[in-house]
Amino acid sequence: MTLKEFWHRLGSPRWFYQISGHFGWAFGALALGLLVIGTFWGLAVAPPDYQQGNSFRIIYVHVPSAILAQSAYMLMGAAGLVLLVWRMKLADMVLATTVPFGMSMTALALFTGAVWGKPTWGAWWVWDARTTSMLVLLFLYIGLYALRQAVPRQETAGRACAVLAVVGVVNIPIIKYSVDWWLTLHQGATFKLTESPSMPPEMWLPLLVNVLGFYCFFGANLVGRLRLEILRREHGTAWVQELMAGGRT
């Protein structure tokens, strides 16, 4: 199948539903494997930090969730563009199902950051550049969520969210840069303990495994939610009715 053909086929939620079942399981299994290995490696095998001791180990949850929070937003921006240009139904579903995931990842990143910050910086909350941009990202997610709730018609809500997501993606680099600028205006980068490039491989390898695991988890979550969303939105069509009837007997 050529790429163009694949793209055209994506226009059909039914086709996606039929092929995606296995993908969901594959992503789920990969996620489970990677996360178990990465977490065990990170928590039990990797050496403690010479300065932070064992408290640094929260990095194995903190960094993957922060990366996923941003990746999910980028995906939403791409899906928003696809929805606006090609009006692909599936893109709207991606947009709708990614918001809760991205929002929870952002919240998790902020929460683990606070927990990590307490022993390291001595405060639950510090107006550090990265923390602040994550907080703004959380507000962007909440805005998308609120807009979808507020617009009564589903199709209109999807396209309104698409415009907002695209505008958000354009703004994110500027927000990130301006917040970095703001920090350097206030104080030097004294807090960036994780930034040391001399982090040994036995510390960052499990991190990499966990990041990949989080991505696979995202994939599994997305596919699963998409399948549910397809069934929910297409429940009036003949193929879903047939599928449901078949499942019951």
From 168, 206, 213, 224, residue interacting with other proteins (rule: CB under 8 A)? 168
Count residues binding other proteins (CB under 8 A). Answer: 31
Question: CB-wise, 122 or 188, nearer to other proteins?
Answer: 188
From 82, 164, 169, 226, residue interacting with other proteins (rule: CB under 8 A)? 164
CB 47 within 8 A of CB 247: no
Phi, psi of 88, rounded to the nearest 5 degrees: -80, 125
H or E element, residue 132: helix 129-150
Residue 3 touching other proteins (CB under 8 A): no
Residue 188 touching other proteins (CB under 8 A): no
Tokens representing residue 60 in the block: 């194995």
From 123, 170, 189, 228, residue interacting with other proteins (rule: CB under 8 A)? 170
Question: CB-wise, 6 or 181, nearer to other proteins?
Answer: 181
Q: Could you give the dihedral angle defined by the CA atoms of residues 106, 110, 111 and 112, in that order, rounded to the nearest 10 degrees?
A: 100
53: three-class secondary structure by DSSP: strand
Residue 226 touching other proteins (CB under 8 A): no
Window 100 to 129, contacts with other proteins (CB under 8 A): none
From 7, 127, 181, 239, residue interacting with other proteins (rule: CB under 8 A)? 181
From 61, 105, 140, 220, residue interacting with other proteins (rule: CB under 8 A)? 140
Phi, psi of 38, rounded to the nearest 5 degrees: -60, -45
In angstroms, what is the C-alpha Rg of the chain?
21
Residue 142 touching other proteins (CB under 8 A): yes
Question: CB-wise, 170 or 244, nearer to other proteins?
Answer: 170
Please tell me the distance from the alpha carbon of residue 88 to that of residue 79, in angstroms, as a whole number.
Answer: 9
